[in-house]
Amino acid sequence: MVYKLSSADLQGFIDGATAGIHSVDASGAIIYANRAEMDMLGYSEEEYLGRNIFEFHADKTAITNIFSLLQQNLTVVDHPATLLCKDGSTRDVLINSSAHFEDGQLAYSRCFTRDITEHTQAKKALLESEAEFQFMADAMPQQVWTACHDGTLDYVNKRVEDNFGVTTEKVLGEGWITFIHPEDVDQCIKKWKHSLLTGELYEVEFRLHIEGEGYRWHLARAVPLIRDGKVVKWYGTNTDIDSNKQADQKKDEFISIASHELKTPLTNIKAFIQLAEKTVGSPKAPDFLKKAQHHVMNLQRLISDLLDTSKINAGKMSYNFEELDFADLVKESISNFSQQSPTHKIILESNADVKYHGDKFRIEQVLVNFLSNAVKYSPDADKITVKSAVQDANIVVSVQDYGIGIEPEHLTKLFDRFYRIDSTAMKYQGLGLGLYISSEIVKGHGGTFWIESEPQQGSTFYFSLPLKAALPEDVETDDKTFYRTNFINIEYNQEHQRLEVDWLGFQNLESVQKGGLLMLEFLQKNQCENVLNDNTNVRGNWSEASDWAGKVWFPMMQRAGLKHFAWIYSPSTFSALAAKKSVDVMIGDVQTQFFYDRGEAVEWLSDGESYLK
Ligand code: ADP
């Protein structure tokens, strides 16, 4: 039996529907709306009916479009639109509508409004969380990747592109394998296949080829995401462990060197004591004992170096600060040292007559270490020159030898623990700890150290100790175009619209940061893009500030408008290396160029555009 619905039944359907339903006349005036629609928008019948539908659309193009389709008697299917609610909020909807024509004219149209706000919000949240994941993955210092259940790589973060110097497409799929060291590929694939088969954690060490650096050891790790007992995805990272690997290797080497170094004096002591025993009473015996004593001192020195190193590692190196006469300290250290080293004459060319607050024993240790290296590494020379002077509120001490010298690539590494130059390590005994301990002592006094050296000509080792914690600053500035003080001069060159900066004397992290922030302020105030950065008058070593300059300061300067940075080298090798390192680790794309000559730097900045292309 077929039922025929009454118009009351139909009305009941429409009113009870969960989708919004309305009808508008040819002008857009609302002639009917069901409960669901008015509830959705928060209006009563009185407030809704009779008003024009255009008023309730946040996006007028959508409703204009819908109306134009209806006027052409076309059906509107799932047209997206945004409706305005009474409380000011909006709802995302899909509109389905058809027109009713009378005498060839649009009479009214029926409209179904489906609320999809929750759906669009969920989609937006998903997109946002994807973008956040991407951002987080790109911010990680590691390579981050994901792979499908079958092991095919389907995502890598930006670090991978940067490391390999290729586009992501070249790495995805199987492409990544080409960046693994040929000797490590088999082992890596074997482990990966095993994890894919068993769903077990993937962990392997291999060397990856990093553009511009060569192969570096990495630790790859990946965990599977399991749903309903099946692996659906792998989440992995490759972490650079090259420095740890090298440190481990150095440690092993060190243990073998240390055992050897300790054994040599011990064997000699044993031999001389035996000789003394055999010759008791003869005039030779005291001589043998004296020689044994000499080796006991060597042994003692080695052991105290080892103890100092472990103290430094444990952060337990302590200092006995006292007021002392610096000139006396230098004189006494040289005199004590000379007695044990008759092969070289030590010439004290100048001596700073100044009172200093520091640890006498430890500073003497630094000086003696420099002196014994100077003797050890200049076997064919017979003199060493020592100078101590006060410069820019620092005591600067230098020890110059005329020996084997040092190749530039080793210079900054010599103060690292266990570092010895391979080519000479066999010939000269040592543990590679003396300079490391010295640098810690100098840093413990707030000072710094550096080396100037010419292979086959000799080396000069320097350390400087600040006389006062903070330098009294004498500042001249108009707060806009110039700032002159004892460690930096900043001038704004109006004609060439560039900042001209002259760094003066010894620099350290504190002075570099202070000067850097002043430059930022003056760059912003004058809105210029070019900087002429002159290090001709810089002395010493400021390598502790290189990372800050490259990774923090350059990006700040770039955001403030810096485009071109002409950097005139300091004649001090260590300072030049600190500058180079800042640019090597620099984040951002400020154009930088190094110069030995100020004229060339000015020229580069003046017609920079043509130079840069
Ligand atoms: P060690 O002399 O015990 O090896 P140091 O820490 O004192 O350890 O020195 C580290 C390395 O620096 C030395 O192995 C040597 O290669 C190099 N070196 C130090 N002083 C000099 C110097 N005056 N001339 C040349 N090379 C030097």
List C-alpha distances in Å: 118 to 43, 91, 92, 132, 469: 20, 9, 8, 21, 62
> Is residue 387 within 8 Å of 352, Cβ to Cβ?
no
CA of 420 to the centre of ligand 1 (A): 6
The owner of tokens 């000139």 is: 327
Token pair in block for residue 149: 């259940």
Q: Is the CB of 402 under 6 A from ligand 1?
A: no
Element (H, E) at 100: strand 90-102
> Is residue 221 within 8 Å of 237, Cβ to Cβ?
yes
> Is residue 242 within 8 Å of 216, Cβ to Cβ?
yes
List C-alpha distances in Å: 308 to 238, 304, 420, 444, 606: 36, 6, 18, 13, 53
The region that residue 281 occupies, defined by phi over 0 for left and psi between -120 and 50 for alpha, beta otherwise, is left
Q: Is the CB of 424 under 6 A from ligand 1?
A: yes
Which residue's CA is minimally distant from atom 21 of ligand 1? Answer: 373
Query: What span, in angstroms and rounded, lies between the C-alpha atoms of 291 and 276?
Result: 10
Atom of ligand 1 nearest to the CA of 458: 24
Atom of ligand 1 nearest to the CA of 369: 7
Residue 384 pairs in a beta bridge with: 346
Query: What span, in angstroms and rounded, lies between the C-alpha atoms of 418 and 426?
Result: 14
Query: What span, in angstroms and rounded, lies between the C-alpha atoms of 29 and 15?
Result: 20
Which residue's CA is minimally distant from atom 7 of ligand 1? Answer: 434
Element (H, E) at 48: helix 45-48
Q: Is the CB of 431 under 6 A from ligand 1?
A: yes
pLDDT of residue 55: 94
Token pair in block for residue 255: 């243990």
CA of 576 to the centre of ligand 1 (A): 21
Q: Is the CB of 438 under 6 A from ligand 1?
A: no
pLDDT tens digits for 488-503? 999 999 999 999 999 9
The alpha carbon dihedral of 354, 359, 361, 363 has a sign of negative
Query: What span, in angstroms and rounded, lies between the C-alpha atoms of 172 and 174?
Result: 6
Amino acid at 343: T
The region that residue 56 occupies, defined by phi over 0 for left and psi between -120 and 50 for alpha, beta otherwise, is alpha
The b/e string for 297-308 (b: 16+ C-beta within 10 A; e otherwise) is ebbebbeebbeb
Q: Is the CB of 96 under 6 A from ligand 1?
A: no
Token pair in block for residue 348: 């004290």
Which residue's CA is minimally distant from atom 3 of ligand 1? Answer: 430
Q: Is the CB of 549 under 6 A from ligand 1?
A: no
CA of 432 to the centre of ligand 1 (A): 7
Report yes or no on whether pTM surpasses 0.85: no
CA of 414 to the centre of ligand 1 (A): 7
The region that residue 297 occupies, defined by phi over 0 for left and psi between -120 and 50 for alpha, beta otherwise, is alpha
Q: Is the CB of 261 under 6 A from ligand 1?
A: no
pLDDT of residue 192: 94
Which residue's CA is minimally distant from atom 20 of ligand 1? Answer: 373
Token pair in block for residue 279: 């010759």
CA of 43 to the centre of ligand 1 (A): 86
pLDDT tens digits for 52-92? 999 999 999 999 999 999 999 999 999 999 999 999 999 99
Residues found in the chain: 613
Q: Mark out the alpha helices in 377-495 (DSSP H runs).
A: 422-425, 434-444
CA of 254 to the centre of ligand 1 (A): 15
Instruction: Name the average pLDDT for the chain.
Output: 91
Element (H, E) at 534: strand 530-539
CA of 454 to the centre of ligand 1 (A): 14
DSSP 180: B
Concatenated DSSP letters for 220-269? Answer: EEEEEEEETTEEEEEEEEEEE-HHHHHHHHHHHHHHHHHHHHHHHHHHHH
Atom of ligand 1 nearest to the CA of 432: 8
List C-alpha distances in Å: 116 to 63, 85, 109: 17, 14, 22
- Burial class from Cβ neighbours inside 10 Å (0-12, 13-18, 19+) for residue 122 reads exposed
CA of 562 to the centre of ligand 1 (A): 41
CA of 510 to the centre of ligand 1 (A): 29
Q: Which residues lie closer than 8 Å to 54 by C-beta, 6 or more apart?
A: 28, 60, 63
Q: Is the CB of 384 under 6 A from ligand 1?
A: no
Query: What span, in angstroms and rounded, lies between the C-alpha atoms of 134 and 129?
Result: 8
Strand order through the sheet with 591-595 = 476-477, 482-484, 488-493, 498-506, 530-539, 564-568, 591-595
Q: Is the CB of 374 under 6 A from ligand 1?
A: yes
Measured in Å, how far apart are the chain's first and last C-alpha atoms?
87
CA of 100 to the centre of ligand 1 (A): 97
Q: Is the CB of 373 under 6 A from ligand 1?
A: yes
Residues of the chain with pLDDT under 70: 1-2, 469-472, 608-613
CA of 445 to the centre of ligand 1 (A): 22
Query: What span, in angstroms and rounded, lies between the C-alpha atoms of 603 and 595?
Result: 11
Atom of ligand 1 nearest to the CA of 403: 24
pLDDT of residue 137: 87
Atom of ligand 1 nearest to the CA of 461: 23
pLDDT tens digits for 159-177? 999 999 989 888 898 788 8
Concatenated DSSP letters for 49-67? Answer: TTSBGGGGBSSHHHHHHHH
Count other C-beta atoms under 10 Å from residue 524's C-beta. 15
What 3-state DSSP class applies to 426?
A: coil
